[in-house]
């Protein structure tokens, strides 16, 4: 039975990945800061899908938390989903520097270190996959969040190129606005976001798993966001920033 480790696994896309992979008969290792919610999520998945679920409480914004997850990955997994992340309510440069640095640690350092921890076992077995959750925001200039997600996209493509093994897949997932707890946790007002731009988490995961199977290095789920990103690449960066600010983060 294959094993998948998912960070940020108790809500949103992380929880959707957990449901999908449990339905596909993966054993799960779930990582989250909230130990109580982690245990509840594990119990629900075991009851519904009858799979093995290991819980690993860890805060990826700390050295201790990162080291704990690295140690577990050294034991080997077949699929790593780097999903943990968060947003800021305030705009750059009004966000406290310690919060900005924490974002870079979770979005960038954790993705780098956990990918490096997972790869030796995958290379030894000559198979495996890594999904790094980025965002459609990676293609538009909008503060540290967008910048950090742009790094995730570039890193994922670069890592996949360097590995040079079609049996080991590394993919950046770039969804748009998804109905999750993301905006609520960041105390963001999402009222300015047009309704037609919202995606369902389960649909995003379904598209991601399809693109992963096809060997794509960047997955932009949903035709609406494929079009938005394609058009965004053709217009000046200043116009990109203006549209991004008008629509919302």
- Rounded to the nearest 5°, which phi and psi values hold at 246? -70, -40
For residue 138, the 8-state DSSP code is G
Which structure tokens are listed for 214? 């096809």
Q: What are the E-state strand segments in the chain?
A: 3-7, 27-32, 53-57, 79-82, 128-133, 168-173, 218-219
Which structure tokens are listed for 161? 């190129």
- For residue 4, the cross-strand partners are 28, 79
Q: Which residue, 37, 59, 233, is CA-closest to 153?
A: 233
For residue 188, the 8-state DSSP code is -
**Which residues participate in catalysis according to the annotation?**
145
């Amino acid at each position: 039975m294959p094993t998948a480790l998912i960070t940020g696994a108790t809500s949103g896309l992380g929880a959707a990945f957990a449901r999908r992979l449990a339905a596909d008969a993966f054993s799960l290792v779930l990582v989250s800061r909230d130990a109580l919610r982690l245990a509840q999520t594990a119990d629900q998945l075991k009851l519904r899908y009858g799979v093995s679920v290991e819980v690993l409480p860890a805060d990826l914004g700390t050295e201790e938390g990162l080291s704990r997850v690295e140690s577990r990955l050294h034991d080997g997994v077949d699929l790593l989903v780097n999903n943990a992340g968060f947003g800021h309510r305030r705009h750059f440069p009004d966000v406290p520097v310690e919060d900005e640095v924490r974002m870079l640690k979770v979005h960038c350092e954790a993705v780098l270190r956990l990918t490096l921890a997972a790869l030796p076992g995958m290379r030894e077995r000559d198979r495996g996959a890594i999904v790094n959750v980025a965002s459609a925001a990676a293609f538009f200039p909008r503060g540290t969040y967008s910048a950090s997600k742009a790094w995730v996209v570039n890193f994922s493509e670069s890592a996949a190129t360097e590995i040079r093994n079609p049996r080991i897949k590394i993919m950046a997932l770039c969804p748009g606005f998804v109905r999750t707890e993301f905006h609520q946790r960041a105390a963001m007002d999402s009222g300015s976001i047009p309704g037609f731009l919202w995606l369902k988490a389960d649909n995003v995961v379904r598209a991601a798993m399809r693109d992963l199977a096809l060997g794509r290095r960047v997955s932009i789920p949903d035709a609406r966001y494929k079009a938005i990103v394609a058009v965004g690449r053709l217009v000046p960066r200043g116009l990109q920033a203006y549209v991004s600010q008008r629509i919302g983060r």
